[in-house]
Amino acid sequence: MKSILLKTQIVLLLFTALMLVSAQNSMKIPQDAVFYMEINGKQLNSKINWEKFNPFLKQINEKEKKGSWNDYSKTGIKYDAIQYHYATINDSVKSYNTHFTLENKEKFQEFISSVKKKGQEVTRKNNYSYVDIDNDIFVAWNEKHAVLSMISYQKPYKWDGDYAIDSAVVAIDSAATVAVDSAYVEEARPFDYKEEIQYLKDDIKYLKQNIKDNNAEILKLQKDIKYLEKHHKYPEEKNEAAEAVKDSTYAPKVEVMPPPISQDDYYETEPYEVDSAFQKEMDSLNIEKFKIVKKLAEDSFNRYFSSNLKIDVPEDMLSFRDASSDAFIYADYEKIFNQGIYKQLYRGFNFSSVLGKMYNSNSAYNLYFDKDKVRLVNNYQHKNQSTQKSISEVYKGKKNKKIAALINDKSVGYYVMNVNGYKYFDMMYSMMKEAGEGEYQKELELIVETMKIALDEEAIAKIAPGNGIFVLNELKSKNVEYTDYDYDDNYNEKEIKKTKDVMVPDFTFAFATENEGYWKRIFDMLISNKEMSKKFSKDGDFLTFKDEKNKNGYLDQIFFTVKGGVVYLTTSKENIKAQNQSDISKDWIKDSTKYPLSGRLNIQKLLIGLDKEFKSKSERGTLDILKKYVGEMYFKTQVKGQSIQTEMNYNIKTNSENSLMYFFDLFDEIYQTSLTHKPSNTL
């Protein structure tokens, strides 16, 4: 007896343990997820000033008439908790999902009620409730957690005579298939060439009539333009009803309609009757599509709310996550380019997955909203180790202080590159081999080997080893002449010469070379060639390009020269002289010789240079705001472990509380200014 009781207890304990283990299963991110994001709510919530942010959201909401909610800081969502986002793509279904924590279920339900469609009922399940707030947007929640799912469904494209099969929805889609009504199937008739000829003749007649109608309409519009230019209004129309009958014994009753109150009154009635059969068919298709989307959303909600409500993220997605960042993003570019519309594009143009294999990589991003700047750190990694190794070798080039000397703090911006040109060929060969299809892999490898034999990479690398710089010194105003056109009373066209100010770049592009003789021979060829010499001329150590026919263009003159192992292309000879560097520009120079890629852009200087491109009052107002707010961007790239890391900083220049609220202050001021420059609806 004791033995039976003991066995029974063991079985019950094992059953209970299995139930607990089953209940503790986490919600796993789908294997086909192409995008994943974590929002560090604790940090971001502390940086948001709700006293500013909430009224702004409320104002926009009232203007767009999208709901009645008036306090976005109290939606019932726990803003200081982590939010999880992920997206999936396949041949027919695209979805975006957000998981967040609730601190007040009742408040959250009130918020959902304010944004969902009127009369839309909430569906209640055993352990959660959900509602569709739009045809493709669903929200589900329980006491402490909520999920937002945006799902779109499109029947797979037809390729090679067959529909691509999507296993995720094939069962649902088959249930939604509509039978074809045999009454609407036309009986096949033999081809009648005489009937077809008549169709073609009718088409020709129709096209000819269209030409006549279009010419008549053009003539009418041209006359209207001339009348408006002369009288500043359209000709007055006669009241035909009043003049139709002048017999005093007969006065027709004319009902005078009041003028429309607004432009919208013109659209109160349908211009044509809607085809009811077509409308029913479209409604039917939309209903079936909604059923599929709803079923997918409900299945996803069932899986999540039957789990322990924790998100299980694959470790490879989190390899570069920094827990101190405000937001972390992971993107799988291999899946993005090998699924959905991109996959079909490859098939349609016989590219197969060549491009997909070249993009066989992923990227991770850590975003930081610091006090005085926004930082974005990106880690790029190719999934094939040999290809990643080849890419890393490219970023280990020699440094060149001569080209770095062109950097100065008075410039608008610069971009410096110090890569290994010789290793660049190895990287390209590696990528091309990886891009081969199984059927043609041997042929592609042979082509790659032939290229390696035919090309002298070492000699090519000496011509341009991989060190280069582009410096945008400033934007200068230039008065140019251009041709406009006018028409006389008989619509004869005549040219009018006018002038305008355009902004032209003053820049320098330079790159290192270990074979000066090669470039000098190119320059000699340009001035000795009969045709080329019309635009190229020798000016001391400089070769000058001048296009007299294009003197009103943006770039009508460029100078070339080779000095001290550097090839220069510049809009001004003064640009290649030694520059006076401040302490900050000296720091930039140090970075330019330290990192494979680096650069900066002073956006405020760029906007000042583009000042004359902003014409209207509203454009000028927006420009003034931007000049007040915009700062400077700076980036640097280096090899970091098994990845290529790029850090980008955007330095802010206002007194905003932090860089997150800086963007709010900027958008708020632009939005408030736009309200004062609303276009008039008066005709």
Mean pLDDT of the chain: 78
Cβ neighbour number for residue 330 with a 10 Å cutoff = 25
Q: Under a CB-based contact definition with an 8 Å cutoff, are residues 29 and 36 in contact?
A: yes
Facing residues of 128 across strands?
Answer: none
Encoded tokens for 266: 């013109």
The secondary structure element, H or E, covering residue 400 is none
Nearest-angstrom CA–CA distance, 298 and 123:
10
The secondary structure element, H or E, covering residue 248 is none
Q: Tell me the average pLDDT across 26-33.
A: 83
The secondary structure element, H or E, covering residue 681 is none
| DSSP per-residue codes, 622-670 | HHHHHHHH--EEEEEEEEETTEEEEEEEEE--S--SSHHHHHHHHHHHH
Q: Under a CB-based contact definition with an 8 Å cutoff, are residues 512 and 403 in contact?
A: yes
The residue written with tokens 């989190």 in the block is 318
Could you tell me the sign of the dihedral formed by the alpha carbons of 661, 662, 667, 673, in that order?
positive
Burial 534-557 (b: 16+ CB within 10 A, else e): eebeeeeebbbbeeeeeeeeeebe
Q: Under a CB-based contact definition with an 8 Å cutoff, are residues 636 and 646 in contact?
A: yes
Quick: pLDDT tens for 76-134. Answer: 999 999 999 999 988 788 999 999 999 999 999 999 988 887 778 899 999 999 999 88
Q: Tell me the average pLDDT across 402-415.
A: 91
Q: 48 — alpha (psi -120 to 50), left (phi > 0) or beta? A: beta
Nearest-angstrom CA–CA distance, 426 and 433:
11
pLDDT of 15 = 41
* SS3 state at 360: coil
Q: What is the 3-state secondary structure (H, E, C) of 418-455?
A: ECCHHHHHHHHHHHHHHCCCCCCHHHHHHHHHHHHHHC
pLDDT of 676 = 73
Q: How many residues does the chain have?
A: 683
The residue written with tokens 């607004």 in the block is 262
pLDDT of 431 = 73
Encoded tokens for 32: 């086909």
Percentage of the chain with pLDDT > 70? Answer: 75
Per-residue confidence band for 158, with pLDDT thresholds at 50, 70 and 90: low
Encoded tokens for 671: 């939005």
Encoded tokens for 626: 């931007």
Q: Is the pLDDT of residue 38 over 90?
A: yes
Q: Is 141 exposed, middle or buried (0-12, 13-18, 19+ CB in 10 A)?
A: buried
Q: Tell me the average pLDDT across 246-250.
A: 40
Quick: pLDDT tens for 364-392. Answer: 999 999 999 999 999 999 988 888 998 99
pLDDT of 552 = 72
Per-residue confidence band for 639, with pLDDT thresholds at 50, 70 and 90: very high
Find, among 524, 508, 403, the residue nearest to 465 by Cα: 403
* SS3 state at 380: strand
Burial 630-642 (b: 16+ CB within 10 A, else e): bbbbbbbbbbbee
pLDDT of 161 = 47
Find, among 104, 151, 108, 106, the residue nearest to 132 by Cα: 151
Side chain identity at residue 406, one-letter code: L
Nearest-angstrom CA–CA distance, 462 and 562:
14
Per-residue confidence band for 243, with pLDDT thresholds at 50, 70 and 90: very low
Find, among 436, 408, 417, the residue nearest to 574 by Cα: 408
Cβ neighbour number for residue 240 with a 10 Å cutoff = 8
User: Which one has a higher pLDDT value, 590 or 13?
Assistant: 590
Nearest-angstrom CA–CA distance, 671 and 60:
9
pLDDT of 483 = 81
Give the distance from CA 142 to its chain's centroid: 35
The secondary structure element, H or E, covering residue 174 is helix 170-175
Quick: pLDDT tens for 319-335. Answer: 999 999 999 999 998 88
Nearest-angstrom CA–CA distance, 138 and 95:
11
Contacts of residue 368, Cβ cutoff 8 Å, sequence gap at least 6: 324, 325, 326, 374, 375, 376, 377
Rg (CA), the chain: 34
Q: Is the pLDDT of residue 186 over 70?
A: no
Q: 222 — alpha (psi -120 to 50), left (phi > 0) or beta? A: alpha
Phi, psi of 119 (to 5 degrees): 80, -5
Encoded tokens for 615: 């014409």
Contacts of residue 641, Cβ cutoff 8 Å, sequence gap at least 6: none
Quick: pLDDT tens for 509-549. Answer: 999 999 999 999 999 999 888 888 888 999 888 999 988 77
Facing residues of 328 across strands?
Answer: 38, 366
Nearest-angstrom CA–CA distance, 168 and 172:
9
Q: Is the pLDDT of residue 627 over 50?
A: yes
Nearest-angstrom CA–CA distance, 226 and 207:
29
Nearest-angstrom CA–CA distance, 189 and 193:
12
Quick: pLDDT tens for 542-588. Answer: 999 988 777 777 777 899 999 999 999 999 999 998 777 888 888 89
The secondary structure element, H or E, covering residue 606 is helix 603-609
Encoded tokens for 177: 């298939």
Per-residue confidence band for 680, with pLDDT thresholds at 50, 70 and 90: very low
DSSP-derived pairing of the beta strands 493-512 and 467-487 = antiparallel
Least confident of 144-158, 185-199, 286-300: 185-199
Q: Under a CB-based contact definition with an 8 Å cutoff, are residues 581 and 409 in contact?
A: yes
Q: pTM (2 decimals)?
A: 0.75
CA angle 507, 512, 517 (to 5 degrees): 110
Q: Under a CB-based contact definition with an 8 Å cutoff, are residues 559 and 507 in contact?
A: no
Per-residue confidence band for 456, with pLDDT thresholds at 50, 70 and 90: confident
Q: Is the pLDDT of residue 209 over 50?
A: yes
Enter the DSSP assignment of 28: E
pLDDT of 674 = 77
CA-based end-to-end distance of the chain: 98
Q: Tell me the average pLDDT across 223-252.
A: 60
Q: Is 15 exposed, middle or buried (0-12, 13-18, 19+ CB in 10 A)?
A: exposed
pLDDT of 678 = 59
Q: Is the pLDDT of residue 10 over 80?
A: no
Enter the DSSP assignment of 314: -
Quick: pLDDT tens for 489-517. Answer: 776 778 888 888 888 899 999 999 999 99
Q: Is the pLDDT of residue 275 over 80?
A: no
Least confident of 182-196, 258-272, 436-450: 258-272
